[in-house]
Amino acid sequence: MKQYTVGVDVGGTNIKLGLVNRFGTIVEKAVLSTRHVNKSRKRLIDAICISILKLIKEKRLAAKDILGIGLGLPGPIDSKRGIVSFLPNIPGWKNVPLKNILQKKLHIPTFIDNDVNLITLGEWKFGAGQGCRNMMCMTLGTGVGAGLILNNDLYRGEGFSAGELGHVPLNEDGPACNCGGWGCFERYVGNTVLLQEASKVFRNKDIQLPDIYRLAKQGDQRAIRFWEKTAIHIGNALAGVVNLLNLRLIVIGGGVSKSFKFLDKTIHATIKARAMKVPAAMVKVVRAKLDDDAGILGAQVLVKESVSGR
Ligand SMILES: [Zn+2]
């Protein structure tokens, strides 16, 4: 019986794989470094295929036991046709029919989507967003992205590029952004920007986000203020989201969310101060629950919905 799915979360640094049983439990995991294989597209695809087959074999399963494979990739993906439009941080990917390539090699039904979309599906079905009809899941990392569940369905947009919260302008002026715009939300809360800011505040160019979390826990006022300032930026962006979409829930994941307890109050206060009363009173902002597993579990949601033709 086909009761397993394989989830693959392709990131700029590493690729996480997981074999998931029909109850949504990850029964086998693997990680491989992207850096050694991302020089050529063929090498990256071959490495993914080998890892998937190894994962299946390790549990003494075969292709016939696998309902499908779901892959999340960091870029705009035409999930309907199974085409990677492009990957901003991995060179050599433009209009690649990845779904067909993988199906030919592996003989298992394969589905692809944007990585944050899969994380959102994972948190929605298995994590912090269970039972929620209208929600957003935001990931705060080097890039800032979001996935939207609207009326119990993943909203991908007309050209599969909805959810680019990191590139919503927070400011009419503001610093230039990689996307070609300026004053984007990502230019205030992306990891690179936060670390630049932190190296000035703490006069330490090697400081990392977990260090600032630890300092805040110890009561260091500079660290507490650092997270408060970050939370104000997040709250400002979310006030716009809340006014536009009147969501019930916003889930925050990614590296910065590990400091959620130092962000929580200020995010809520900023939303309350700046958003309209009715939507501001209804929305809850919570930390993601699944961390690194969200994309792998979300892949199962994608596979099941795709196979059943939803
Ligand atoms: Zn931008």
How far away, in angstroms, is 155 Cα from ligand 1 center?
Answer: 21
47-51: list long-range contacts, CB under 8 Å, 24+ apart: 47/15, 48/8, 48/10, 48/15, 48/102, 49/102, 49/105, 49/106, 51/8, 51/15, 51/17
Same CATH topology for 4-119+292-307 and 131-288?
yes
Evaluate whether 213 touches 98 at the Cβ level (below 8 Å).
no
Please name which of 308, 306, 292 lies closest in space to residue 127, comparing C-alpha atoms: 292
Taking the C-alpha atoms of residue 27 and residue 21, their distance in angstroms, rounded to an integer, is 7
- Rounded Cα gap, residues 70 and 78, in angstroms: 14
Per-residue pLDDT of the chain (310 residues), as tens digits, is: 789 999 999 987 899 999 999 999 999 999 998 887 878 899 999 999 999 999 999 999 999 999 999 999 999 999 999 999 988 888 889 999 999 999 999 999 999 999 999 999 999 999 999 999 999 999 999 899 999 999 999 999 999 999 999 999 999 999 999 899 999 999 999 999 999 999 999 999 999 999 999 999 999 999 999 999 999 999 999 999 999 999 999 999 999 999 999 999 999 999 999 999 999 999 999 999 998 999 999 999 999 999 987 6
Place of tokens 């991908």: 156
143: CA distance to ligand 1 center in Å? 10
- Ligand 1 centre to CA of 216 (Å) is 29
Name the pTM for this structure. 0.96
**From the DSSP assignment, how many helices (H) and strands (E) are in the chain?**
10, 13
User: What distance in angstroms lies between residue 165's CA and the mean position of ligand 1's atoms?
Assistant: 9
Q: Which residues surround ligand 1, an ion (CB under 5 A)?
A: 167, 177, 179, 181, 184
The domains of the chain are located at 4-119+292-307, 131-288
Query: Which positions ≥6 away from 236 have C-beta within 8 Å?
Result: 170, 270, 274
Specify whether domain 4-119+292-307 bears CATH 3.30.420.40. Answer: yes
Fold classified for 131-288: Nucleotidyltransferase; domain 5 (3.30.420)
Question: Per-residue b/e over 232-245, b at no fewer than 16 CB within 10 Å?
Answer: bbbbbbbbbbbeeb
